[in-house]
Each structure stands twice: as structure tokens, then as C-alpha cells.
Structure 1
Amino acid sequence: MRELDLERYRARYGLQAVLLSNLAITVVAIFGVWRLDGDKSVIIGVLTAAFTAVSTMTTAYLGIKAVSNTAKAMAQADSTRRDQSPQPATPQTPTPPAPRNG
């Protein structure tokens, strides 16, 4: 239960950090374009850099999250497989026959 809560917090705050960073980049890009008043080559440069930063940040987060989820699923499958694998049978020593009286 505790590990599930920790994973949920990591995912929530990681996504929140990415979204806030993307929002900050977007605001700075809009402000930069607004202040440049028509210099098209610089505006294109600002927008290109902003788009690159946003897409790189988002792709990195999603890639790291996907790899983390895959590794976790593989570890769980491995532990489940180990738990369900048949245990080697313990060799049974034969009991000697009881002596016969008679």
C-alpha cells in the first residue's frame, strides 16, 4: 500500500512539474513574441526554441515514466513467476522394511 502511494505521488508531482515548466516556457515565448513587434526571424527563433523545449520536456517525462512502468511490471512478473515455480522435491529416504519374526 505504501509503495503504491509513493508511486502515485511521484507520478502526480512529476506530471505537475512538467506541466508547470511547459506553461512557464509558453508564457515566456508569448511575452517574447509580443515584445519583438514584428521581427519575423527572431520571432521564429523564439517560437522554435519554445516548441523544442516543451516537446523535449514532455517527451523526456513520458519516456522515463514508460521505462519505469515497464521495469516495475517486469519485476512484478519475475517475482510472481518465482513464487509460482514448482519447488524442487525433497528426496524421500526409503524406510527399511520391518524385521520379520518368524
Structure 2
Amino acid sequence: MRKAIIIVFVLIVAALGLSFATLNADDVVVDFFFGQADLPLSFVLVVTLIVGAILGVLASQVVVFRKRREIRKLKRQVNDAQKELNELRRLPLKEGR
């Protein structure tokens, strides 16, 4: 059942993408630093979306790496505290009198 829902969703997205491309088939002039090109508007928009998504993922990786490093540091601290606690539990209790 789940696969059928996924297939229907993919087909709907593909149909919307196809209709988007058909409606925006007009050529636009894209100026590069080294030249220019006439490309379909839908192609330019899709490429821009993909490049933006890639840049967003790359930018978020900085935060992910920092958090992973912080997690490793905190795990080391927990392990050290656990070892110290185990050592303190092994010490004999002293009589206070």
C-alpha cells in the first residue's frame, strides 16, 4: 500500500513538472561571465532550484559537523564521569566516629 502511495505521489509530481515545463517553454537569455545562452525558462528555474538546494545542504553540513564534534566531546565527558563514579563506588566507606 505504501509503495502505491509513493508511486502515485511521484506520478503527480512528474505531471506537475511536465505541465510546468510546458507552460514555461519560452526561451530566456542567460548571461554568463564568458558568454550568453538562450535556454528554456523551466530549465533555468530547475537548475537554479537544484544549485540552491546543493548550496543549502553544504551550508548546513558546517552545523552538522560542529554538533557531531560536540556530541563526541560530551560522550567522552560522560565516559570519564562514569569511570570516576565507578572508582568512587569501589572505595571503602570511612567511619565518621
The TM-score with structure 2 as length reference comes to 0.45
> Whose helix fraction is larger, Structure 1's or Structure 2's?
1
Which protein shows a greater Rg?
A: 1
Q: Which has the higher contact order (CA 8 A, sep 6+)?
A: 1
